[in-house]
Amino acid sequence: MTNFFINKIQSKINDSHRLKLHFSAPKYAAFRGGLFILHLSVNSLDVFVCKVLNEKSRKFCIFVISKTFIEKMAKRNLKWKTLKSDYLFKRPWLTARRDIVELPDGRIYDEYYVLEYPDWVNVIAITQDGKMVMERQYRHARQTISTEICAGVMEKGEDPLTAAQRELQEETGYVGGDWKELLTLSPNSSAMTNQCHCFVARGVEKTSNQHLDTMEDLEVFLTTPKEVYQLLLSGKIEQALMVAPLWRYFTEFQF
């Protein structure tokens, strides 16, 4: 059906405008809600075709976006200018400030709030016999018992890998193994300044007891990758910064 519509479009435009057009292979073709949608290049232009799929309609719409337009939009300056910043409070693990900002079109927001956090780390830890090291702990803001992977805050001067290895040892007593950084995430780029560095450590072993901070109270347990995968599917793991690396892990190493 895709080739049929391309031929019909080419014939209709050539006959109407006496043009010789060079059509690329489709970049995208799909059926959505009674419409046939097609995206391809015609003479170096991006063309979107929309065809109503019913017996009575013989019409279709063509939308053309030029490369010049796309390049112009890509080069447009979207960055905001900070005119003034006032710190509301500063604490070891959280700093809040209020910015006055100017948008590229001249609009001014005089009450934009930003939270400054240290960077975070988390670890998908796999034991030598293939079990996953998981945790349960109470999360007061959500008032729920949360199933999680090991996670923590980077200390001043630490690199992400060192922080992740320290957190794993402190929270679980596991060390060693082969380490790889899976991805780096932005927890909330609209309001928070920090990043979260996500690691996988395969072949870890337990060598000590936990060394928890004063406010930490968590349980460590081992389970199979299959069980963790089922927890993901069922929504039992809901912390977004842990869900993302777990899905990445299962996509890259398990499937």
pLDDT at residue 19, rounded to an integer:
44
Query: Which letter, b or e, does each residue of 172-201 get, where b requires 16 or more Cβ atoms within 10 Å of its Cβ?
Result: bbbbebebeebeebebeeeeebbbbbbbbb
Q: H/E element holding 73? A: helix 67-75
Residues 243 and 140 placed together within one structural domain of the fold: yes
Residues 197 and 131 placed together within one structural domain of the fold: yes
pLDDT at residue 68, rounded to an integer:
59
Sheet order of strands, 94-102 included: 81-91, 94-102, 108-116
Residues 130 and 108 placed together within one structural domain of the fold: no
Residues 172 and 249 placed together within one structural domain of the fold: yes
CB 227 within 8 A of CB 237: no
Give mean pLDDT in consecutive 10-residue pieces for the chain, a chain of 255 residues. 55 49 54 55 56 50 52 74 96 93 94 96 97 96 96 95 97 97 96 97 95 86 96 95 95 76
Residues 125 and 59 placed together within one structural domain of the fold: no
Residues 243 and 162 placed together within one structural domain of the fold: yes
Residues 166 and 206 placed together within one structural domain of the fold: yes
Q: CA-CA distance, 80 to 89, in Å (whole number)?
A: 23
Count of CA atoms in the C-beta half-sphere (13 A) of 155: 6
Residues 125 and 239 placed together within one structural domain of the fold: yes
Rg of the chain, C-alpha, whole Å: 26
Q: CA-CA distance, 154 to 162, in Å (whole number)?
A: 9
Return the CATH number at 32: 3.10.450
Phi, psi of 230, rounded to the nearest 5 degrees: -65, -35
Specify the number of domains making up the chain: 3
Last residue of a domain, one of 22, 49, 75: 75
pLDDT at residue 194, rounded to an integer:
96
Residues 66 and 182 placed together within one structural domain of the fold: no
Give me the domain span that covers residue 100: 81-116
CB 171 within 8 A of CB 212: yes
Q: CA-CA distance, 128 to 210, in Å (whole number)?
A: 19
Residues 11 and 93 placed together within one structural domain of the fold: no
Residues 245 and 135 placed together within one structural domain of the fold: yes
Residues 109 and 207 placed together within one structural domain of the fold: no
